Amino acid sequence: MSVAIVTGSSGLIGSETTRFLHDKGMHVVGIDNNMRKYFFGEDGSVEWNTKKLTASLKNFTHVDADIRDFDGMRKIFARYGKDLQLVVHTAAQPSHDWAAREPFTDFSINAGGTLNVLECLRQEAPGAVLIFTSTNKVYGDTPNRLPLVEKDRRWEVDQKHPFFKHGIDETMSIDQSKHSVFGVNKAAADLLVQEYGVNFGLKTACFRGGCLTGPAHSAAELHGFLAYLVKCAVTGRPYTIYGYKGKQVRDNIHSSDLVSAFWHYFNNPRPGAVYNMGGSRHSNCSVLEAADMVAELSGRKLNYTISDQARTGDHIWWISDVRKFQKDYPGWQFKYSIKDILQEIVAAAQERMGSQ
C-alpha cells in the first residue's frame, strides 16, 4: 500500500487531506503534536480531531512528533522509505500576532521545520511528491499599494487595474514590503520548497493560500477568521475586527477544494511550482459581509467592535488569481461558494457547541 505523510494532520487542512488520501486507498501517517493548543489555548486544540481520525480511519497512523526534531522526523521518513509517495506539509505556527510574541519559536517551526521535512524527503524518499501549504502573507503588504476604492461594505481594487477581474497572480513581488514575522518565516520556507525543486529536482510545490477554511477548523481569535467569526456569533462571544473599517476583503477556499487541488498536483507534479490558491472571484467577502451572511444563516447577530489598529502586514484586499493552476490542471474546479462554506461552518459550530 502506498504511504502518505501529512504533517499537522489534525488541523483543518491536514485532517481534510488525511481523510481524502485515506479514501483514495493510501495509508496515511499523520504527524501532529497539538501545538495549536500551545499557540491558542483550548480554542485551538485539535485533540478532538486526532481522536476522531484515529477512531474512524482504518489505515491511519497518528504520530505525536515535532517537526523541529530532525532526527525524530528522519526516523519516521526512513520507516516508510520507498513506499512513501506523498508528503503534504501543513504543520505551522499560523498567526501574525503570535509570531511577534515568540519569533524564535515561529522561525523554528515555519522555516526550520520545513527545512527538516525537505531534507528528510531528499535523504529518505526523493521520489515522493511534497506539497507545502504556503501563504499569501509571503507578499507582505504589497497588495495594500494597489489602487483601492472604498465601497459601502468592502474595499475593491480599481476596475481599470489588471488584477480587478481575476485577482492577484504570482507575478507580485515578495520583496521590498512590510511583512509580519510570520510572513517572513513562511517566505523563507516557501523559497526553500522551491529551491529543493529547482536545485535538487524534487517534486515540490508551494500553494500560497488565501483564507483556508471549513467546518473542521479549530478557530481562535488569532487564527481562522471565518470559523472564529461563526464561533463568536453562535456563542454570543464578542468579536473584534482589526482595522480597515471592517471592509477588508478575503477570498475563502473550502478545505475540500484545496485538497482536491493537491490531488491534481500529486498526479502530475511540476518540480518547484508556485500557485496562488484561494477562493478567487468565485468565493470572497469582506469581514462586514461575512458578519451579515452569518447572521442570516445562524439567526444570531454578531456582536462586534471595530478597532482602528490593523494587524501588522495585513491585507486590505486580497483575491487570488488561480488561473495558473487551472491552466496546468484544467480538470480542477471549485465546488464551494462562500455561502456553501458558511452554511457548513455554521452547522458544524451549532452542533459542536450545543446551539440551536
Q: How far apart are CA 34 and CA 45, in angstroms?
A: 6
Q: What is the pLDDT of residues 138-158, one digit of tens each?
A: 999 999 999 999 999 999 999
β-strands 249-254, 284-286 pairing: antiparallel
Q: Is residue 341 within 8 Å of 226, Cβ to Cβ? A: yes
Entry pTM: 0.94
What pLDDT, on a 0 to 100 scale, did the predictor assign at position 96?
85
Closest CA to 222 of 48, 39, 90: 39
**209, 214, 220, 225 alpha-carbon torsion, rounded to 10°:** 60
Buried b / exposed e along 270-283 (16+ C-beta atoms within 10 A): ebbbbbbbbbbebb
Phi, psi of 311 (to 5 degrees): -75, 145
Please name the residues in contact with 311: beta carbons below 8 A apart, sequence gap of 6 or more: 96, 97, 180, 242, 243
pLDDT of residue 313: 77
Residue 125 · residue 41 · CB < 8 Å = no
The counts of H helices and E strands in the chain are: 13, 14
Statement: residue 182 has pLDDT above 50: yes
Domain count, the chain: 1
- Domain residues for the domain of 340 are 3-352
Helix axes 225-235, 287-298, angle to 10 degrees: 40
Q: What confidence tier does 97 reach under pLDDT thresholds 50, 70, 90?
A: confident
Question: Three-class SS of residue 5?
Answer: strand
pLDDT band per the 50, 70, 90 thresholds, residue 160? very high
**What digits encode the pLDDT tens for the residues 230-270?**
999 999 999 999 999 999 999 999 999 999 999 999 999 99
What CATH number does the domain containing 203 carry?
3.40.50.720
